[in-house]
Amino acid sequence: MLKKSVPNIFTVANLFMGIIAIILVFNDTPVFDSIDNANLAAIMVIIAMLMDGIDGRVARALNVTSEFGKELDSLSDVISFGVAPAFIMYVVAFSDLNPATAWITTAIFPICGALRLARFNVVQSTPGYFIGLPIPAAGGILCTLALFHQELNSYFLAACTLFLSYLMVSKVKYPSFKKVALPKVAVWILMLIVVVAVVVVIMYPHYLTRMVFVPLVIYALWGTFQGLKRKR
């Protein structure tokens, strides 16, 4: 019974981090003096990405995949990578926009994320590829991009939010690494990696968000350019 619950524990941890991220970004009182709540909320989303990347691999390694776990994963992803990043962007970057523009732009992102997940659950994907930008990647880009709000224009950030929303529901193909097989011993190694990653987050919070932003953007742009080349 415990064996079957291990992947779901990671999925629930993913959901927990997303909820904490939402609470943090709407909390005016800083939790830590060394880091603002928006940056901390983005870190929660990044940790949620780690959990999301592990749960499916753990389930396959332990041979305990289930429809329940699949549905729980999708519901968690909507919160952690759809709602949480959209609210982070809304709170820190959309204050200069008129309310209607800010509200609609904020709402579109999780809506497109939910549509992306619904399509993923019912449509057979091309082996080795995702159709549309995966919501964890889109959410990771959005929440880390929001941290550059002092250097970037609010309307530019709103346009980026809408562009990421479009990429999620587009038919652009992105490489998938979900089917990479892992031996059972790797499950414990992955758990150790998560612990080490959390320690790194606590010790170097400001560097982590910038480090994660770059590869995620490269992933999104690479898939987009490859899609344009295939159309040509």
Structural domains of the chain, count = 1
CB of 43 within 8 A of CB of 205?
yes
CB of 10 within 8 A of CB of 187?
no
CB of 110 within 8 A of CB of 171?
no
Give the pLDDT of residue 151.
85
Give the pLDDT of residue 187.
53
Range of the domain at 118: 2-231
Count Cβ atoms below 10 Å from residue 231 Cβ, excluding itself.
Answer: 8
CATH number for the domain spanning 93: value is: 1.20.120
Give the pLDDT of residue 199.
66
Give the pLDDT of residue 6.
77
Task: Show pLDDT as tens, one digit a residue, over the chain (232 residues).
Answer: 566 777 888 899 999 999 999 999 999 888 877 788 888 899 899 889 988 888 777 777 777 778 888 889 999 999 999 999 999 999 999 988 999 999 999 999 999 999 999 998 887 666 678 889 999 999 999 998 988 888 889 999 999 999 999 999 998 888 876 555 555 555 556 566 666 666 666 666 556 666 677 778 887 877 777 666 666 5
Q: Which residues contact 60 (CB under 8 A, 6 or more apart)?
A: 181, 182
How many angstroms separate the CA atoms of 28 and 208, rounded?
23
Strand partners, 175: 129
Give the pLDDT of residue 205.
58
Give the pLDDT of residue 31.
80
Q: HSE of 44 in the Cβ direction (CA atoms, 13 Å)?
A: 26
